[in-house]
Structure 1
């Protein structure tokens, strides 16, 4: 019998092996309070091991202990996304302790100021917003992508905002809006680069959520987190990449 010659796959075309939920490792930046904490809770309830990233390790450990009491497999990680040393140390620890990372939720965000205007903005605040909301996600994604590439599987969710959409006409929150708009562009570029690799990249707007940053009057935190968790758990079959979503529905960039 003649041997059957199978075509050689390129690295971008390798077959994707989707790990079971209870074997997936997830990292959530800004995970010790508000929206990030609820994302950690919901991912842990799916059976994942969730690494709760927090600028202050003590604050992260406090919340991780609470979630473990609820039955979740949650571990605190010191992670300031504006500090390259923290990012690199977190990536090394994940590699050492778990050997893989399947889900990254770039949730850490800051500099939401309703009085911030483009004509009078403090450029120091603008730099801070870009460093946290854009470059923080960029640093962290670059640091963990080698692990995702090695297993040809990954879900990267960038927590964005509809106020960063190109069609948004608001005048407030200038630094925040611009940083989220840049994050949207980064999301699309990274998704395009990784298309076919098994690594899916999307942006999610959680809507106006009642958190310390969003203030009172917003929707329940659990509702905002649900769309992020949905994007983090997209199945391999038919998974969308390079999209912008709110409540699982596509929205305009």
Structure 2
């Protein structure tokens, strides 16, 4: 039984991950900006009251991050999944950019995953072969050819590099670090025309977590079990 903390657990892939891990008997710490307003998360908690606990977390707020870390007390944490993310502003092409919105996108998608990971390192160091997985996207791969969603693409490309660096710095401690492409998922971000349900993506991501090891850290995983170019 592992203890897994998931950010952005209020809907979509994050909510499906909470349910997937709890259904197989893992302890889950689910975080959301305002848990009291999230009906879907409350329903999962009611199904798994002994396995799922919910905490408030604003991933761009250092005070909120520190408060979450303090609430963990001296408990070990085996897995951190940085799932919280945003698509970015309406105007985000290389020819017409909302620069303030671009900066906000970086705060959520790039800075926050590292800030959360740093704050939770004491708990991860108490875990058993701890792992940090950040949900990225194929759109952030330097091999991707598209030019739409520049704020989103660039923030994810940047967090990929951040996690590569973190993997190097934590290798000596035996903490594995990776990123993953969750697929094109039917969520608020992915839209109704997407290929995968959140449950399909979450199932694939749980398998990635299970396979992660220090010997293959870092890696850019895909939800279906393959890997891709950075």
TM-score by length of 2: 0.92
183, 198, 206: which one pairs with 1:229? Answer: 206
- 235 and 156 in structure 1: CA distance in 2 versus 1, 3 angstrom threshold: closer
Question: Residues 57-107 of structure 1, C-alpha deviation per residue, up to 9 Å, x if partnerless?
Answer: 2134x43431133336111110110111111111110125xx111111000
Separation of aligned partners in 1, 2:166 and 2:95: 31
Match of 2:60 in 1: 82
Task: Give the superposition deviation at 1:47.
Answer: 1.2
Q: What is aligned with 1:58?
A: 36
CA contact (8 A) 2:77 2:126 kept: no
1:44 & 1:233 partners in 2: Cα distance?
14
Partner of 1:146: 122
Contact 2:92 2:102 in 1 (8 A): no
Query: Which of 122, 140, 154 is equivalent to 2:98?
Result: 122
The 8 Å contact of residues 115 and 172 in structure 1, kept in 2 or not, is answered as no
Q: Distance in 1 between matches of 2:212 and 2:183?
A: 23
Aligned to 2:228: 251
Structure 2: unaligned runs, 5 residues or longer: none
Q: Which has more radius of gyration?
A: 1
**Partner of residue 108, structure 2:** 132
Superposed, which structure 2 residues align to 1:152-231 within 5 Å?
153-218=129-194, 219-231=196-208
SS of equivalent residue, structure 2 residue 5: strand
Q: Which runs of 5+ in 1 are unaligned?
A: 1-20
**The one of 11, 34, 41 aligned to 2:19:** 41
What SS does structure 2 have at the residue aligned with 1:233?
helix
Do the aligned residues in 2 keep the contact of 1:31 with 1:108 (CA within 8 Å)?
yes
Q: Normalising to structure 1: TM-score of the pair?
A: 0.84
Q: Give the Cα–Cα distance (whole angstroms) in 2 for the partners of residues 120 and 164 of structure 1.
A: 19
Take 1:116 and 1:59, find their aligned partners in 2: how far apart are those partners?
Answer: 30
Number of equivalences: 227
Asked whether the 8 Å contact 2:10–2:40 carries over to 1, the reply is yes
Aligned in 2, Cα 1:207/1:134: closer, same or farther, shift over 3 Å? same
